Amino acid sequence: MADTAQRRRRIARRPLVIGLVVGGAACTLLVWSLSDRRSSDTPMFTGYVVSQNLYMSAPVAGVVDTLNVVRGQRVEAGAPLFRIDPTSLGARADQAIAQVDQGQAQLEADVAALNKARADLAAADVDVDRTGSDLARYLAAEQEKTGSVAGQQLDQARTAAAGAQRRRDAARTDVDAAAARIAASRAAIQGSQAGVVDARRQLSQLSPVAPIAARVEDVMYQAGEWAAANAPIISLVPDDQVKVRFYVPQAVVSAYPPGVTVAIACDGCASGMTARVNYVASRPEYTPPIIYSLTARDKLVFLVEAAPSAPRALTPGQPIDVTPLKTPPARR
């Protein structure tokens, strides 16, 4: 009788236990439902990290002599990146310097020739004055008294005056030619000096440094390889050029103007990261395939870019979830 009574009490408790279990499950489903409803009230946008790289190169072709960085390394502003073998460019600079020295020597010779031509012109002027005075005196005497000057003497005076005039004209031509040669020599020296400055500038560019704090994205050439002029050798990702790019439906794009701060999150990233919107596309576009999913399938979206608060923690190409720090007002 006791066993029968105990069995009846267990059977009587089963509906109560089952009811408690069902009620608990219903409460759990209700909590999940409310949680999903709350989460659905906060929009989430799918995006990814992009960057605008700096491509460091050399102005002349040459052999990569030294590499100072490796791919993935962080560098600070002023850090050396690589060096091109300066042998050929150094020879070019030496040649330009030699041309400057040669031009200086030629200029000195031209200046000496100009001084001589000016001295010859001064002597020719004196000779012209002397022979002209003699001829004028003979002509005055002959005019005063015919036959007072021998005809041969008068002819000699005329010949001497004409010769002095020709020598003075030739001296003037020599002065002008010497001055022109000096101008040409000075222009040649200036050209050679410009060549020296350019060669030295290019020599300094054979060993470029990082212009800003950045991460080495890629190394295109190895030591010993020949690199063409202006060919990218090192690719850098500057910290200030790392951006978060995401797409916002046209219905709520007005809530994300430049200056608005959004929350960003990614797998393995620290919590609390934010980004400030600095660009919103002026035209909508269809949802790009790269972000298309069941949760992001609006037909027309606007491209939005934002500068992250911790750019060093992000990697270009990394998927990002973007949510507003404050839920934007519903569009009426």
pLDDT 10s digits, 217-238? 999 999 999 999 899 999 999 9
Between 7 and 278, whose confidence is greater?
Answer: 278
Residues 92 and 115 both lie in one domain: yes
Closest CA to 158 of 171, 147, 149: 149
- Mean per-residue pLDDT over the chain, rounded: 79
Total domain count for the chain? 2
Q: Are 233 and 220 in contact (CB under 8 A)?
A: yes
Q: Which residues pair with 162 in a beta bridge?
A: none
In a domain, 102, yes or no: yes
| CA-to-CA separations, 20 to 9, 69, 191, in angstroms, rounded | 17, 66, 98
Residue 264 has a pLDDT of 94
Spatial distance between the Cα atoms of 287 and 300, rounded to a whole number of angstroms: 6
Highest mean pLDDT (candidates 105-109, 203-207, 229-233) = 229-233
Query: pLDDT by residue (tens digit) across 290-311?
Result: 655 545 556 788 999 999 999 9
- According to DSSP, the residues that pair with 238 across neighbouring strands are 214
Per-residue b or e along 207-226, where b marks 16 or more CB atoms closer than 10 Å to that residue's CB: bbebeebbbbbebebeeeee
Q: Count of CB atoms within 10 A of residue 280's CB?
A: 17
- The answer to whether residues 132 and 220 belong to one domain is no
> Do 64 and 123 sit in the same domain of this protein?
no
pLDDT, residue 19, reads 41
Mean per-residue pLDDT for 7-19? 43
pTM of the model: 0.56
Residues 94 and 78 in one domain: no
Q: For the segment 234-258, what is each residue's pLDDT rounded down to a tens digit?
A: 999 998 899 999 999 888 899 999 9
Residue 15: is its pLDDT beyond 80?
no
Token digits for 27? 């409460």
DSSP state of 267: T
- The per-residue pLDDT for range 257-296, each reduced to its tens digit, is 999 999 999 988 888 899 999 999 999 887 776 655 545 5
111 and 132 part of one domain: yes
**99 and 184 in a common domain:** yes
Report the distance separating Cα 298 and Cα 293, nearest Å.
Answer: 9
The answer to whether residue 179 is domain-embedded is yes
Q: Is the pLDDT of residue 92 over 80?
A: no
Q: Is 265 part of any domain?
A: no
What single-letter amino acid sits at 316?
P
* Ordered strands of the 234-238 beta sheet: 54-56, 234-238, 214-219, 74-75
The answer to the question of residue 186 being in a domain is: yes
Q: How far is the C-alpha of 186 from the C-alpha of 261, rounded, in Å?
A: 62
Query: What is the spatial distance between Cα 282 and Cα 305, in angstroms, rounded to a whole number?
Result: 12
Residue 69's closest CA among 58, 57, 81, 79? Answer: 81
Q: Identify the domain containing residue 169 by its residue range.
A: 87-194
At 142 the pLDDT is 65
How far is it, in rounded angstroms, from Cα 81 to Cα 73?
11
CA angle 132, 138, 140 (to 5 degrees): 100
Biggest alpha carbon–alpha carbon distance for the chain: 190
Distance CA(98)–CA(168), nearest Å, equals 38
Q: Are residues 64 and 98 in the same domain?
A: no
Give the tens place of pLDDT for each residue, 136-164.
Answer: 776 776 677 776 667 676 777 778 878 88
Order of all β-strands in the sheet with 62-67: 82-84, 62-67, 226-227
pLDDT value, residue 268: 85
pLDDT of residue 325: 82
Is residue 10 included in any domain, yes or no? no
> Is residue 250 situated within a structural domain?
no
**139 vs 131: CA distance, rounded Å:** 12
pLDDT surpassing 70 at residue 76: yes
Q: How many residues appear in the chain?
A: 332
- Residue 246 to residue 244: CA distance in whole angstroms: 7
Residues 91 and 175 in one domain: yes
